[in-house]
Amino acid sequence: MSLGTNSKADAGSGWAETAKIVVQALAIAMVVRVFFYQPFNIPSGSMKSTLLIGDYLFVSKLSYGYSRFSFPFSPDIFSGRVFASEPKRGDVAVFRLPQDESIDYIKRVVGLPGDEIQMKSGVLYINGTAVPKVYKDEFKNIECDRYFRHCRDVVYKRYEETLPEGIKYTVLDLEQGGEFDDTDVFKVPAGHYFMMGDNRDNSSDSRATVGYVPFENFIGRAEIIFFSAAVDEPEAMRWLSPWTWPFDIRWSRFFNLVR
């Protein structure tokens, strides 16, 4: 006597197993996103040339511990931070804008609590000492309005800065004597940080509208670029010409660490 199989039962069991695997995978992905790494994309040029418009990166939430801004919808269930670890000077960090806590910003940590920060003739001063700034090369970029109606070639001077801790990174300078090249002295309050964009003449940061950023507003430290596409260039009309999409991808930026 031969044993038959119930194909309908087998099919139902297969679908149930597949659904179970999908649910488990989604649950793991949610846990990772909420507690460990959150993806962000770069919508503006304030961190050029370190980060470009169209970069997608992972931000480590473990780096600074957790505040209410670490979680979806920012539930007001506690104040301050748990498992806190303070940001280090030179970190590229994502935070909530103090003036509008629904908006995410990404900048570099320049001033720690108690520091005095000032810009003089385009040079960064920390506690009265100039941060070394050495010319490297030119950074050429095509910049357009949001509808690509007006585009122009822009050439920046690129410099390397070295913080007191020895951390090196590059900054851009578009014009000498720019609006933010000379400032008053900023005294960073306790529990706050002074943030600046690497694109020094085109960054809304602690020198102007952003002000000092409370530790509680930090979400995490930018770690690695996992995808990048040239969405800010006139050729990148990707929604109109799908066949060009592979050519818009910046393959060389994949898996670059954020420094």
Residues with catalytic function: 46, 107
Neighbours of 63 (CB within 10 A): 18
| C-alpha distances out from residue 173 to 19, 120, 141, Å | 53, 13, 13
- The beta strand positions in the chain, using DSSP E, are 37-41, 55-60, 92-97, 100-111, 116-120, 123-126, 129-130, 133-144, 151-162, 168-173, 186-187, 192-196, 213-214, 218-228
Q: What is the DSSP letter of 69?
A: G
Distance CA 210, CA 148 (A): 28
DSSP, collapsed to helix, strand or coil, labels residue 134 as: strand
DSSP, collapsed to helix, strand or coil, labels residue 12 as: helix
Distance CA 227, CA 37 (A): 15
Which value, in Å, is the radius of gyration of the alpha carbons in the chain? Answer: 23
- Nearest CA-CA partner of 96 in 183, 193, 224: 193
Is residue 48 within 8 A of residue 199, CB to CB? The reply is: yes
Token pair recorded at residue 51 = 């980060």
Residue found under tokens 């706050």 = 192
Residue found under tokens 């030119």 = 138
